[in-house]
Structures are given as C-alpha cells and as structure tokens.
Amino acid sequence: MKLQLVGCSHHTARVELRERLAFSREQVPEALRRLRSAWPDAEAVLLSTCNRVELYTAASRVEQAPTGDEAIEFLADFHGLRATEIAGELFQRNRDEAIRHLFRVAASLDSMVMGEAQILSQVKEAYQLASDGEFTGPLTHAAFQCAMRVARRVATETAIHQRRVSIPSVAVADFARQIFERFDDKQTLVIGAGEMSRETLRYLVDEGARKITIINRNLERARELSTEFGGEVAPWDELAHHLTLADLVVTATGATEPIFTLDQYRAIEADRYQRTLFVLDLAVPRDFDPAIGDCLGVYLYSVDDLQKACETNRRQREKEWPKAQRIIDLETERFLADWNHRITGPAIQQLRESTEVVKQAELQRLLNKLGSVDDQVESEIRASFDRLVNKLLHPPLESLRHEAKHGTPHGLLDALRRLFQLKD
C-alpha cells in the first residue's frame, strides 16, 4: 500500500507561489478527473486553501499511484507551469509522515493561527469533493475519517481551541485596529460571500462596523450574508464605484486572477481625495494587485502579512502543544498499526484457508480409517486437529502482528508466502 503527499504551505512557500498553484472549488474535480485518467487505480484528495495546496494520493500498489516527481509535474501542468519552477518549494511526505501531517493539519496544529476552526471544515470539504466524484477509496477514506476524529480529540482534550482565534480575527484586531480607532463611521466593503468573508464580517460587526456593502458575483449569496449581518448588497459591475467610497475593504473571492488591477485603482484614485483605504486581501490568489499597496494612503495586507501576529498567537498557545502533539503521535501509531495489520490480512486469510483444506483432508482420511466412532470421540478428534493447527500457526501470525506495530512487515510477508506457497 502507498500513501503520498505533495504540496506547499505558508511554512514553505511564498504567497506568490501558493496563488499560482491554488485551485478554485470548481477546478478541484477537474484536476482529480485528470489525475484519475492518468492513474486509473489511484485514490486522491486535493486540499487547496489560502495557506496550502496539498495533493494526497494512495493506491494498494506502489506502481498504481504517481511518484513524487510525477505528482509535482501534474500540479505544474494543470496550472501551465514548469515543474522546475515549483519543485524547490514543494514538500513530499510518504506514508507515516503523510498521515502525521494530515492529522496535524486537520487539528489546526499546522495552521498560521494555531487552533483556528476553519481548517477542519476545509479538510472535510476537500474529502467530500473527492468522495462525491468517487476519487477516494479505502485508504483515503480511512485516513481522512481518522483525521477528523483526531481533530475532535485535540479540540476536546486540549485548550488549543479555547477562545478561538482565526486569520480574520487577527486581521481585524492586530491590523485594522492599528489604522482605525473606531469602525461605526467607516464605509466597509466586503467582496466575496464565502466563509472567510462571513467570519471577518462577524469580527467587524463585533467591533462596531455598521455601514456595510457586500458585493459578490452571485447576488443571492451576497443577500444571504446581508441578511445575517445587515448592510446593503451591490452588483458586481459597481465594484469600482463602491471602492471609491470605501474606507475598509475585505476581499476573499475565489477568482483565479486579480479582480482589481493597479490601472483600475489609478482610475478612481483622484475621486478618493487621498482618504485612507485599508484593504484586507484574504484571497489566494490575491484579489488586489499588490502594487496598489504602494499608492498614497493605501494599506494593503495579504494573508502572509498576518504571519507575525499569528506567530504571537502561536506562542501563547504553545503550552498546549505537547498535549496535542502526544494525541497526534498516539493516533498516528494506532492508525499505522491498524493499516499494517490490514496489509497482512489477505496473506493471513490465505494461510488459514490453505491449512483448513489440509486439515479437513487429513481429518477425513483418519475418520475413514477409524470407521464408525461415536459423536463424542469424533468431536474430540476434531478439536485436537483444530488445536494443533492453531498452535502451529500461532508463532508466524504473532510475529506478523508484532512486526506490523513497527512498520509494514514486507520481509515476513514475503517469507510466509514463499514458505507456504501462497499466491499474491
């Protein structure tokens, strides 16, 4: 069996690379279809968020899934890039480390803001998208379902998720607060109506934001957000007009390229009369051309700019880290032991079936020679044969179970198949 992870995160890659590799929700099924076309027997889950792009692949046989280099090539090809452009900033994890990494991600131990709640829902969505398209299988089902259970353990058995802090809360408390003393008199423009926009709005409303305009390509979703938090809804083609009026902008769309360029900003700049404009660009790829941040009076922050504040948050929660890490380590060991045991299952089943055939043949031959025996005697004979076979099988099967706790027992499995002439 093979499980592999290839990807990048805010720990390893700059936002410029992450946005080039990011997948929209609509692109994920297409990417998985292409991968299945190239590797028909491979399982796959693709996780793409503002902070990470991770491709998990699995197969019962090594040759049925892409190698690490092939997975990198696949990610590059999908986005029209050369593998050599991205290989140096991607990481690869195999089997044990891939499982451990997945558990840490789901439990938000690998997040920019440790303990943030959004990542688990993103992991669930990625798994659900893959399952809906039938790109998952027994290995990825087991891994992702266990990851969700591990995340729940970390949430309930540690204080990492207490007083939850997320990227939006850090953005508002540590960045917007530096620019504005109050929010009730500021024109707030929210672009996009997804979960990131919803969560950021929640914090802004708590801080007093009242003058809110929501713009989204899907007007119905914008209205749902407006109903929840108040404010007005505006059509997409009025984006430039509302940017002219805005003091604070939160943008988190799923666009694959900037929705507002430097030239577009230059066209409205004079009408803003040098008023301060604070922009939280929480999208990956970024919604605003980074060059807009160099304009007079513009404070433009991306998710990577939140890193320092998030590190402060991480240090405050580090005392809970050892407890959470122990849970991750324990659950990883349990999962791998179970996985390794499952690998030995077919060989053990074949061994039992082959010995059962031999046992029954010899038992019947003995009973035929003995002639008529009463039921009690026959029962004792059968029990003796069962005990003999079980005692003979116990040492090799116990050795397999012991080795499975420490890794896949390929050597013992191969020896078992050869000694007892079992077929793969």
**Residue 408 in this model has a pLDDT that exceeds 70:** no
Which residues have C-beta within 8 Å of that of residue 77, sequence separation ≥ 6?
Answer: 83
d(CA 38, CA 57): 13
* Residue at token pair 């007083």: 163
Q: Round to whole Å and give the CA distance between 55 and 19.
A: 15
The pLDDT assigned to 382 comes to: 87
When mean pLDDT is compared across 11-25, 83-97, 157-171, 267-281, the lowest value belongs to 157-171
pLDDT tens digits, 313-342? 667 677 788 899 999 999 998 888 877 767
Average pLDDT over every residue of 264-282: 93
Res 411 pLDDT > 80: no
Of 63-67, 195-199, 353-357, least confident by mean pLDDT is 353-357
Compute the distance between CA of residue 116 and CA of residue 109 in angstroms, rounded to an integer.
9
Q: Above 70 in pLDDT, residue 199?
A: yes
**DSSP-assigned letter for residue 161:** T
- For the ranges 31-40, 57-66, 315-324, 362-371, which has the lowest average pLDDT? 315-324
192 within 8 A of 252, measured Cβ to Cβ: yes
> If we measure between CA atoms, which residue out of 74, 154, 148 comes closest to residue 322?
154
Ordered structural domains, the chain, with CATH: 2-164 (3.30.460.30), 167-306 (3.40.50.720)
Catalytic: 310? no
pLDDT tens, residue by residue, 47-99: 999 889 999 999 988 889 999 999 999 999 999 999 998 988 999 999 899 99
Burial of 379 (0-12, 13-18, 19+ CB in 10 A): exposed
| Catalytic residue (one of 8, 50, 146, 310) | 50
Give the dihedral of Cα atoms 107, 111, 114, 116; nearest 10 deg.
-70
pTM, rounded to two decimals: 0.67
Q: Among 123, 111, 118, 253, which residue's Cα sits nearest to residue 194?
A: 253
Average pLDDT, the chain: 88
Q: Give the residue-averaged pLDDT of 216-240.
A: 93
Is residue 27 pLDDT above 80, yes or no?
Answer: yes
How far is 332 from 109, CA to CA, in rounded Å?
A: 14
What is the Cα gyration radius of the chain? 29
| Banded pLDDT at 263 (limits 50, 70, 90) | very high
Q: Mean of the pLDDT values across residues 344-349?
A: 66
What's the mean pLDDT in 21-29?
93
Q: What is the mean pLDDT of residues 349-374?
A: 82
Name which residue leads in pLDDT, 206 or 161. 206
